[in-house]
Amino acid sequence: MNIYREISELQKELLEINQKSSSVGFVPTMGALHQGHLALIEKAKQENDFVICSIFVNRIQFNNIEDYEKYPQTENKDIELLKEKNCDIIFIPTEKEIFPNIDNFFFNFENLDKVMEGKFRQGHFSGVVKVVKCFFEIINPDRAYFGEKDFQQLTIIKEFAKQNFPTIEIIACSTVREFDGLAMSSRNVRLTEEERKVAPFIYKTLKRVKEKKINETVNDIKQWVIKEIDSQQFMSLEYFEISSSLTLQPIEKWEDSKNIVACIAVFVGNVRLIDNIIIEN
Ligand code: AMP
């Protein structure tokens, strides 16, 4: 397994890989790796000759400087985990290496960024697509792997790649959860013991939403979720939406869309967690 910190060094190996016509799978991450990330690596290993994982905490996608500064960094452990998974290449660039390659390009999100994460984290998706564009240009993989855990991000990247990198296939990977249903997240380590105990309530609530769909209206369920989450100790709801999983626009009635996803963002103490559940596909 080779580790590169410079674009030019990485590209030398990529050139050799290209000359052999081998396929390349790319897994972008911000490090502090857990089983959710490793599931992406495993899938990429199954489907490609070479797998590259990047670790880069992308400052320009953070709307909250404290969240950025407190973002966990565990580089040595990450390298060990990737070695165990037989990842072929790790790319760990510095900002100095990446930022000069980020251009001020404009992507028309077509309203995909006006809701949920985009609404509450101003500039977040613009920062995400800028860095993804930069990595896609450097690596030009055959396939890139993204988690359903960040459902809105996945939807935006699919649209972004369709318009700008039509040869790169975007592969979605299911959310990996802890034994008690909590979606794995690098931020989970920041929860206190007591907060960690209540955090699985988020996914429990999402599962109830799916059950309730049979005989309750969209609006009734939304009101119910607001009450449920806000009545929990340590929890404060930022948003809960029931939306089309294609356009991400909120629906008012179940008949409004055939593809439905419920998405949630909750502060558990100071830690902001997101999760989602597919209601209908
Ligand atoms: P991050 O390091 O948080 O930027 O995540 C890197 C990639 O891993 C993104 O595509 C995420 O959606 C994905 N990911 C994060 N957590 C999970 C999880 N619990 N299950 C599956 N994929 C995940």
- Nearest residue (by CA) to ligand 1, atom 12, is 147
Give the pLDDT of residue 158.
Answer: 98
> Are 78 and 168 in a shared domain?
yes
- Nearest residue (by CA) to ligand 1, atom 10, is 146
> Are 165 and 197 in a shared domain?
no
Residue 15 lies in a domain: yes
The count of structural domains within the chain is 2
Rounded to the nearest whole angstrom, what is the distance from the C-alpha of residue 187 to the centroid of ligand 1? 11
Ligand 1 pocket check for 245: Cβ under 6 Å: no
Element at 117 (helix H, strand E)? helix 116-120
Type of residue numbered 50: F
Rounded to the nearest whole angstrom, what is the distance from the C-alpha of residue 232 to the centroid of ligand 1? 26
> Are 129 and 12 in a shared domain?
yes
Give the pLDDT of residue 159.
Answer: 97
Residue 179 lies in a domain: no
Give the pLDDT of residue 150.
Answer: 98
Catalytic residue among 14, 33, 37, 112: 37
> Are 208 and 120 in a shared domain?
no
Give the pLDDT of residue 105.
Answer: 83
> Are 168 and 111 in a shared domain?
yes
Residue numbers in the chain where pLDDT is lower than 50: none
Q: What is the CATH number of the domain that holds 40?
A: 3.40.50.620
Ligand 1 pocket check for 30: Cβ under 6 Å: yes
What is the rounded distance in angstroms from the CA atom of residue 29 to the CA atom of residue 72?
Answer: 12
Give the pLDDT of residue 131.
Answer: 97
> Are 115 and 191 in a shared domain?
no
For residue 84, with 0-12 CB atoms within 10 Å meaning exposed, 13-18 middle and 19 or more buried, which class applies?
A: exposed
Give the pLDDT of residue 103.
Answer: 86
Q: How far from the centroid of its chain's Cα atoms is residue 137's Cα?
A: 20
Residue 247, domain extent: 186-275
**Domain closes at, from 173, 199, 224:** 173
| Nearest atom, ligand 1, residue 147 CA | 12
Ligand 1 pocket check for 186: Cβ under 6 Å: yes
Residue 54 lies in a domain: yes
Q: What is the CATH number of the domain that holds 271?
A: 3.30.1300.10
Q: Is 34 a catalytic residue?
A: no
**CA distances (Å), 48 to each of 56, 90, 221, 250, in order?**
22, 15, 42, 36
> Are 195 and 97 in a shared domain?
no
> Are 39 and 150 in a shared domain?
yes
